[in-house]
Chains A and B, each alone.
Chain A
Amino acid sequence: QSVLTQPPSVSGAPGQRVTISCTGSSSNIGASYDVHWYQQLPGTAPKLLIYGNNNRPSGVPDRFSGSKSGTSASLAITGLQAEDEADYYCQSYDRSLSGYVFGTGTKVTAL
């Protein structure tokens, strides 16, 4: 049972903006620990998408952006494309568990 909660699914038409929330608590995101996001295309390993709350690794399109406020974080995809259909996971550190934790995961569908 994950301590970071994400919506099971989000969808949008190509070109639209979609957001994925990652809700934590005062022992993880709210304790100022960084949030990272991963994209997992079908049948492949997860890939780093956003690190340190809002930084994109080289090669990640700028239509992906991250933010954090209070005990929650969000991933936004601006200009949704068919190739963005994947599962997305947030990750942070939890001081109560003294370890890293993943979110429950969100499946993104381009309608």
Chain B
Amino acid sequence: QVQLQESGPGLVKPSETLSLTCTVSGGSITSYYWSWIRQPPGKGLEYIGYIYYSGSTNYNPSLKSRVTISVDTSKNHFSLILSSVTAADTAIYYCASHGNWNELFSWGQGTLVTVSS
């Protein structure tokens, strides 16, 4: 079973850029689609976007202007960049892998990112 682990700063200042990495173990990043999801404290899940190892991406329209997801096959990891953050971007950020039915079958433990000065 593939395992995922998010990493990155837990605190980002308003108007700055959030940057997270998801490291994949127990499987190759060339095998699936890979997603980022976030969850504001006490709220529901929000899809951020996904990437295939070839580099093709799909982003949530509400975040598209600020989001970039990239993949590094040599390091078996993929990354999230979210620019011009505000307090509304404070959330637990999860990375996950897609299965054959496009379900999210494996999730990272999540990392809390707080936007505050």
**A residues apposed to B, CB below 8 Å:** 2, 34, 36, 38, 44-48, 51-52, 55, 57, 89, 91, 93, 97-105
Contacts and interface: CB of A to CB of B under 8 A. Distances in A.
B103 A102 contact: no
A45 B94 contact: yes
Given A45-B110, A51-B99, A102 B105 contact: no
Given A47-B107, A89-B44, A102-B47, A36 B101 contact: yes
- Per CB-CB distance, the 4 closest pairs between chain A and chain B, nearest first, are A51-B103, A36-B103, A52-B101, A105-B44
A95 B21 CA distance: 28
Judged by DSSP, the binding face of A is: strand
Given A46-B94, A89-B45, A99 B105 contact: no
Contact of B109 (A38, A45, A102): A45
B96 to A, nearest CB: 8
A59 B58 CA distance: 31
Interface residues of B, number: 24
B50 A100 contact: yes
B101 A51 contact: yes
Contacts of A98: 58, 61
12 contacts: A34-B101, A46-B107, A47-B107, A48-B105, A51-B105, A52-B101, A89-B45, A100-B47, A100-B50, A101-B47, A102-B45, A104-B44
B46 interface: yes
B11 interface: no
Contacts of B58: 98-99
Contact of B107 (A45, A100, A101): A45
B105 to A, nearest CB: 5
B34 to A, nearest CB: 12
